[in-house]
Amino acid sequence: MTNPLNTLAFDTARWEQFLGETARRHHVPGIVAGVLRIDEATGREQRFVASTGLANNRTGVETTRDTLCQIGSVTKIITATMIMQLREEGKLELETLASELLPDTPLSTTDDGSKITIRHLLSHTSGINGDVFTDTGRGDDCIEKYVALLKDAEPLFTPGNGWSYCNSGWVVLGRIIELLDGRTWDASVQARISQRLDLHQFLTLPEQIMSHRYQHGHTRDTGSKDWVPAPTTALPRSVGPAGIINSSVDDLLDFGRSFLRGGLGVAGTNVLSPESVELMAQVQADLGDADALSPQWGLGWILDEWEGHRLFWHGGTTVGNKAWFQVLPDDGVVIVVFCNGGIANRAGGEIVEAFAREFVGASTGAGVSPSGPASETVVKDEWLGTYGDFITSVEVFKAEDGQVKAKLTQGIDPSSVTSTLFDILPTAKPNRFVSRPDSLSTWSQLTFTTVDGHPCLYADIRCLRKRDEAEAAA
């Protein structure tokens, strides 16, 4: 049911003032955000898009309504939509084995990879090591080359017996789209999504993007208060299906609108059937200890509610960029927010909260926070040790003063490895803790648990398996 609105709800100047104040408070160089709403009674559609600040604080280029922004992992919803289109066309089913479509491409170091289904890939339950970001070049065969590398990645759990956020699985889905469509994933995005929705600022390749105004990400060194343009402009093309689309706010709002209208695009063109729209929003996984973002996951969508208002959404993170994309089907509302640096999680959270109150009449809820100081942290001895996946390692140990610390080491290759030491603080849940490198960072959850019979640590939504002493020393 749509929420009654005040007369200033779609006043762009009001929202630009709010975005400007939020950006200054949280050191965000530039913000673009918008809301689309369809009135339940009349079917009337309204929207606004507001912007503030700079797309790049080195060049001084301003952020405007038509600025292209990196949507990051929101790309996964576009990839999921194309997989559901292929299902409607009878080319695959949710229970189709990936090995049937990729018969000569092992997806892990074990035979379990042959048991992975399309449903597993769409719901992050495949067990594939999720953060493989190997750059296999800019050629049209880069996704094929990337997927071929997964044979060397140790799985996190057997398919269907755990949950972990999995970028790699979405590249596998992108490769399946390429094989069934007989063209690159990028070309399928244009043919299956952009053309059906008449989107002109929904792009994947740098040569397409560079003729537009676009937001550049901004980063900082731990302890510094200065955000500077990120050294890396974007993620490699080889992980495209997991997160490289650039879009204007308007085009992403238009994509979201199709989920409010049962998959209907423009001029009577359907992106999806109403049945597929509903199926994507059905619960596929209860996340349990992996609930840092939400308690449940669908086919691509993160599933949640705001004080009883049904919500499916996804976020996006690239180098120095953050994106929020929320669809509230019963309220007829789509929300899009882009931030290109600063304390983006806090800024974006405040903006989404303001939009939720204004257009939905609900609060988004509070995030995780510590229940006491680090001196009150109690970690069981059995939880101490080193946990990791393909690019991340977390060592949990007791320092000489008896306080529990965590050492985070990350790197795509040996030349890019970084290490950071954190205090671990308690929460109200005995197996859950929070940490952050400094006060300008947001809290991350660390949750000790068992997955598929093996001790693991959830670092927010990523499952890190505990390593034995030999593995940890390697």
Query: Which residues are the active-site residues?
Result: 73
Name the H helices within 104-166. Answer: 118-122, 142-149
Question: CA angle 4-5-9, nearest 5°?
Answer: 165
Distance from C-alpha of 315 to C-alpha of 78, rounded to nearest angstrom: 13
List of residues 6+ apart from 458 with CB closer than 8 A: 289, 290, 292, 445, 446, 447, 449, 464
Phi–psi pair at 176, nearest 5 degrees: -65, -40
Distances (CA, A) of 66 to 69, 79, 201: 9, 23, 8
Biggest distance spanned by C-alpha atoms of the chain: 68
Are 152 and 245 in contact by the 8 Å Cβ rule? The answer is: no
Say if CB 457 and CB 406 are below 8 A apart: no
Half-sphere exposure of 428 (CA within 13 A, CB side): 3
Q: Exposed, middle or buried by CB within 10 Å (0-12, 13-18, 19+), for 111?
A: exposed
User: β-pairing, 333-339 with 454-459?
Assistant: unpaired
Instruction: Name the token pair of 237.
Output: 């093309």
Q: In what order do the strands lie in the sheet with 321-328?
A: 61-62, 45-56, 30-38, 333-339, 321-328, 309-318, 302-306, 296-297, 285-286
Cα–Cα distance for residue pair 462/114, rounded to 1 Å: 22
Q: Are 253 and 47 in contact (CB under 8 A)?
A: yes
